[in-house]
Amino acid sequence: MAVRKIKPTTPGQRNRIAPDFSDITTNKPEKSLTTVVKRTGGRNSEGHRTARYIGGGHKRRYRIIDFKRDKADVKAEVKTIEYDPNRSARIALVEYADGEKRYIIAPQGLQVGQTVVSGEAVAPEVGNAMQMKNMPLGTIIHNIELNPGKGAQLARSAGTYAQLLAKDGKYVTLKMPSGEMRMVLSVCIATVGSVSNPDHMNVTLGKAGRKRWLGRRPRVRGVAMNPVDHPMGGGEGRSSGGHPRSRKGLIAKGKKTRSKNKYSNRLIVAKRNK
């Protein structure tokens, strides 16, 4: 996928860099694999706003994605590559030999007509899923499980991937998209390849309305608020001074917030890039 610069026919188009949907093969999702997604507008069951700057947006249906890839040793043919309004990556509709259809996160380079499979003794080819202990060192992977059988949790967004660096006992060492070096159980399943749509990071919306279509309301800066609303609010004119803080008064921009006793600290070999 690439991006395209729009001709400046209107102020909103002048700065817009739009996604190129040339990799999409259909605009109608598989109806049996979609469900209703309820919008909250950032409000809880009592109607109180608990998350700010959420609301509006175009109606969506949720595509049910197979993050577990637990249908072992059954080949599946890629039928379509589709746009998913709920995530930045493309999704692929695959049909198994027994007729079952599922959606998977489409890896970069996956084409309609290709065959993917998951299992113990499958080839480490793009789109195939297997336990990481069966992968050769240096393999580029995505959709990585943290707990066996739970389903993929890491490297799922557009253009991301991790790299398998080492195997040691029941753990493998991965280099994460953030640069962090981390150990993960070797029996966890991952998918070979990087996630599709790597140019998502280059998209520029161009106007505020396009952000509203995505369901995001305007975000107000703390320094523009009153003292009653934010620790950084108030003052005569554009006052400066004081350390940047969150709305709750927690110091921002540099303060460590990770728990010293977090269970996964022992699994981190090297921290992420600063």
Lowest average pLDDT, out of 8-17, 18-27, 107-116, 233-242, goes to 233-242
Question: Do 166 and 59 belong together in one domain?
Answer: yes
Calpha distance 6→207 (Å, rounded): 13
* 270 assigned to some structural domain: yes
Domain tally for the chain? 2
Question: Do 60 and 127 belong together in one domain?
Answer: yes
Domain range for 10 is 3-201
Q: Is the pLDDT of residue 274 over 80?
A: no
Report the CATH number at residue 36. 2.40.50.140
* 220 assigned to some structural domain: no
Alpha helices in the chain (DSSP H): 11-14, 208-213
Confidence of residue 241 (pLDDT cuts 50, 70, 90): confident
Report the CATH number at residue 235. 4.10.950.10
Q: Is the pLDDT of residue 1 over 70?
A: no
First-to-final CA distance of the chain: 29
Percent of the chain with pLDDT strictly greater than 70: 99
Question: Do 29 and 129 belong together in one domain?
Answer: yes
* 209 assigned to some structural domain: no
Confidence of residue 256 (pLDDT cuts 50, 70, 90): confident
The answer to whether residues 193 and 140 touch, using CB atoms and an 8 Å cutoff, is yes
Question: Do 9 and 123 belong together in one domain?
Answer: yes
- CB burial string 162-201: b at 16+ within 10 A, e below: bbbeeeeeebbbbbbbeeebbbbbbbbbbbbbbbbbbebe
* 219 assigned to some structural domain: no
Question: Do 189 and 239 belong together in one domain?
Answer: no
Percent of the chain with pLDDT strictly greater than 90: 91
Question: Do 178 and 242 belong together in one domain?
Answer: no
Confidence of residue 2 (pLDDT cuts 50, 70, 90): confident
Question: Do 162 and 26 belong together in one domain?
Answer: yes
Question: Do 131 and 253 belong together in one domain?
Answer: no
Question: Do 159 and 104 belong together in one domain?
Answer: yes
pLDDT digits (tens, 9 = 90+) for 35-94: 999 999 999 999 999 999 999 999 999 999 999 999 999 999 999 999 999 999 999 999
pLDDT of residue 177: 94
pLDDT of residue 254: 85
Q: Is the pLDDT of residue 239 over 90?
A: no
Question: Do 138 and 273 belong together in one domain?
Answer: no
* 215 assigned to some structural domain: no
Q: Is the pLDDT of residue 188 over 70?
A: yes
pLDDT of residue 125: 96
